[in-house]
Amino acid sequence: MCGIVGFVGQGNTKDILLAGLSRLEYRGYDSAGIALYSQPFTMVKAVGKLEELKKKVSASKDCQLPYSMGIGHTRWATHGKASEKNAHPHLSMHKEVVLVHNGIIENFAELKTFLQEQGYSFYSDTDTEVAVNLIEYYYRKDKDILKALFSVQKELKGSYAFAIMFQEDAKTLYAMRKDSPLIVGKGENAFYLASDVSAFLDYTNEIYPVENREILSLSEKEIHIYNKNGEEVKRSSTIAELSQRQIHKGEYLHFMEKEIFEQPKVVKDTLLYACNQENEEPAGNAENPKFSYEAFSMTEKDFQEISRVRVIACGSAYHAGWVLKSVCESLARVPVQVELASEFRYNHPILEKGELVISISQSGETADTLAALKEAKKLGAKTLSIVNVKGSAIARESDFVFYTQAGPEIAVATTKAYSCQLAAGYIFSLLLAKAKGKISKEETRSLTEELFLLPGKIQQCLSFDQEILPMAKELKDADNIFFLGRGLDWAISMEGALKLKEISYIHCESYSSGELKHGTISLIEKGSPVIGLLSQEELAGKSISNIHEVRSRGAKCFAIRMEDIAIEEEDFAHNLIVPKTHPLFAGSLLVLPLQFLSYQVSLLKGFDPDKPRNLAKSVTVE
């Protein structure tokens, strides 16, 4: 969702801000803007794609002047529709303060009333305009910038990362954050500020992470960081783990394509991460790898004490939770309940002693998941997060963390992070089964071995990139597509349907094969496309019967199946085969043709698969 950037120092401020915003496009937005320090501030805003803003900036004579400080923003509309008046930066009523904001001010209504009583009027529908005026209010009262920011910090409820400029101070960029990401980059005679390091990685990889409730002042040569008590904090810079290569598309047309192709590597990295923990004896060796409890920052005893598992997550991460459920219940015989994080708090949750709450999240920022996690903690549960972004809010909030090793995922539709979440779920289940004495040493060894064969098999599935094209061509004009599966296949079909609908805008639904006849089958008519997933030997017969039921009502059927699952090929318009693996891990292979199908259909329909309409990469609002 919203992305912020800031720059102060020697450099082409305008170009640096626009380049930073381009790097943050993946977060999702529907308007954008910049403010450059001048007297008065120079501001340009535009609705729609960043290209619109760039055009306006090029056309503005004022923007061509040299500037040494500025802020920028991509906005994903929450309070008020996408319009120029609601786009950031927002200017205070007396034009003394301008800021950009990522987050939500929860008590904005009462603060607005307070400010109105003080004579403030508002031009936008946003919560952010309330924040900028509150800052100005305290600033005019105290005549002290830092003091004003500390006063505002005490008043604001909700989440925010702000980059702020004051008319009074031509040389200092101010920032503050709570529960929204913010990172500082140190350049030569310059400082950068952004929601995400990728925004300035082309200029520097020397970074200062910013902690919750810290306030910063940045000038050409100096950085000052203050904690919530107003004390100055000394912090050394570090080098960002992210490399430039990771944030560029390289030879690929889209990030989604690049990220699908990265899956063999990142799944392997996740498996290896689970074996080799820093400061620990490396567990196992190349021939005989062993997963370690410590990878989850847990002990064997922690695992033994788990009596039930509750997974809370959203979207694809929620689908990964369903796979974890199947595998964990099968291997460890520990009951697992999977819940939508957005529903968890409102379902009067009952958590038992010994129940581990697992939140799964790529970004580690998803507001629904974070809120559910906080609720679980309030109810006394032990919490584990399976997260991709290091140090993210969800990781910090959890008792235990497992970091998937997907690296930065830029395409809005998740692919590689989802695959790593599946791998994390397998490893967790295996360790739980081992700790509970539910599987023998021999079984543990053979399942581990099988897991280490997965990256190679995922590699084989990359050939679906082209193989899927004929099927994609047949499906691209469909209005509705049905996905069917039983057990684990159903869990994967949910992900296949979501992937296709989110980037091709075709209505897709996944149904448990057995459930179809209880209502949905009435939707099947001549030519309705139905994609059947078939990877579970013992369920295949039943699933095939369900496919026959729709076929005999005119459906056009497609099969994606594991090698060795027998079907009557002539019953299917297309029949795609993934290599054989242990049935519990089959989802990691079935998902590849489904990802490629979505990607290709999106391309065939002329859409940009990396930036589907209305969607944001990190969903930081509830």
Q: Please report whether residue 363 would count as binding ligand F6R according to CB under 6 A.
A: yes
Q: Which entry of 2, 63, 314, 508 is annotated as an active-site residue?
A: 2
Smallest separation (angstroms) from ligand F6R to the CB of 370:
9
Q: Which is nearer to ligand F6R, 71 or 500 (CB)?
A: 500
Residues 299-318 that bind ligand F6R (CB under 6 A): 314-317
Residue from the set 86, 369, 405, 581 that interacts with ligand F6R by CB under 6 A: 369
CB 319 within 8 A of CB 339: no
Which range of residues in 135-143, 204-212, 362-370, 440-448 is near ligand F6R by CB under 6 A?
A: 362-370
Q: Which is nearer to ligand F6R, 292 or 421 (CB)?
A: 421
Q: Which entry of 112, 499, 501, 617 is annotated as an active-site residue?
A: 617
Sequence-distant (6+) residues with CB within 8 A of 402 are 274, 295, 296, 297, 384, 385, 386, 387, 424, 427, 428
Would you report the helix, strand and coil content of the chain in percent, each value rounded to 5?
A: 40, 20, 35
Q: Which is nearer to ligand F6R, 63 or 498 (CB)?
A: 498
Sequence-distant (6+) residues with CB within 8 A of 393 are 179, 181, 364, 365, 370
Q: Please report whether residue 256 would count as binding ligand F6R according to CB under 6 A.
A: no
Residues 480-509 that bind ligand F6R (CB under 6 A): 498, 502
- The SS3 assignment for 43 reads strand
Residues 599-618 that bind ligand F6R (CB under 6 A): 618
CA distance 196 to 27: 10
The DSSP secondary structure of 435-447, one letter per residue, reads: HTT-S-HHHHHHH
Residues 114-143 that bind ligand F6R (CB under 6 A): none
Smallest separation (angstroms) from ligand F6R to the CB of 2:
15
Q: Which is nearer to ligand F6R, 164 or 498 (CB)?
A: 498
Residues 314-343 that bind ligand F6R (CB under 6 A): 314-317
Q: What is the 3-state secondary structure (H, E, C) of 65-124?
A: CCCCEEEEEEECCCCCCCCCCCCCCEECCCCCEEEEEEEEECCHHHHHHHHHHCCCCCCC
Smallest separation (angstroms) from ligand F6R to the CB of 505:
14
Q: Which is nearer to ligand F6R, 217 or 421 (CB)?
A: 421
The DSSP secondary-structure symbol of 449 reads H
Structure tokens at 536: 């579970």
Q: Which is nearer to ligand F6R, 574 or 617 (CB)?
A: 617
Which has the closest alpha carbon to 274: 287, 292, 286, 299?
292
Q: Please report whether residue 205 would count as binding ligand F6R according to CB under 6 A.
A: no
| Interaction mask 442-481, ligand F6R, x per CB under 6 A | ----------------------------------------
Residues 539-578 that bind ligand F6R (CB under 6 A): none
Smallest separation (angstroms) from ligand F6R to the CB of 328:
19
Q: Which is nearer to ligand F6R, 369 or 448 (CB)?
A: 369
Sequence-distant (6+) residues with CB within 8 A of 150 are 215, 226, 230
Name the residue whose CB lies closest to ligand F6R: 315
Residues 94-113 that bind ligand F6R (CB under 6 A): none
Q: Taking the CA of residue 532 as centre, how many other CA atoms within 13 Å lie in the half-sphere pointing to its CB? A: 33
Q: Please report whether residue 598 would count as binding ligand F6R according to CB under 6 A.
A: no
Which has the closest alpha carbon to 103: 487, 367, 445?
367
The DSSP secondary-structure symbol of 214 reads -
Smallest separation (angstroms) from ligand F6R to the CB of 610:
12
Smallest separation (angstroms) from ligand F6R to the CB of 412:
7
- The SS3 assignment for 255 reads helix
Strands 400-403 and 382-387, sheet pairing: parallel
CA distance 225 to 322: 43
Burial class (CB in 10 A: 0-12, 13-18, 19+), 285: exposed
Smallest separation (angstroms) from ligand F6R to the CB of 468:
18
Which range of residues in 44-52, 348-356, 359-367, 558-566 is near ligand F6R by CB under 6 A?
A: 359-367
The DSSP secondary structure of 6-26, one letter per residue, reads: EEEESS-HHHHHHHHHHHHGG
Residue from the set 92, 405, 414, 493 that interacts with ligand F6R by CB under 6 A: 414
Which range of residues in 171-179, 294-302, 357-365, 434-442 is near ligand F6R by CB under 6 A?
A: 357-365
Q: Which is nearer to ligand F6R, 367 or 431 (CB)?
A: 367
CB 384 within 8 A of CB 298: yes
Smallest separation (angstroms) from ligand F6R to the CB of 509:
15
Residue 147 among the catalytic residues: no
Residue 617 among the catalytic residues: yes
Residue 530: what residue type?
V
The DSSP secondary-structure symbol of 289 reads B
Structure tokens at 344: 């968890």
Q: Which is nearer to ligand F6R, 41 or 403 (CB)?
A: 403
Positive or negative CA dihedral for 202, 203, 205, 209?
negative
Q: Please report whether residue 619 would count as binding ligand F6R according to CB under 6 A.
A: yes
Smallest separation (angstroms) from ligand F6R to the CB of 322:
13
Q: Please report whether residue 413 would count as binding ligand F6R according to CB under 6 A.
A: yes
Number of residues that bind ligand F6R (CB under 6 A): 15
Q: Which is nearer to ligand F6R, 547 or 619 (CB)?
A: 619
* Neighbouring-strand partners of residue 226: 215, 232
Structure tokens at 29: 């937005």
Residue from the set 361, 385, 493, 598 that interacts with ligand F6R by CB under 6 A: 361
CA distance 553 to 575: 20
Smallest separation (angstroms) from ligand F6R to the CB of 159:
15
Q: Which is nearer to ligand F6R, 498 or 577 (CB)?
A: 498
Smallest separation (angstroms) from ligand F6R to the CB of 576:
21
Catalytic residues: 2, 617
Contact residues toward ligand F6R (CB under 6 A) are: 314-317, 361-363, 366, 369, 413-414, 498, 502, 618-619
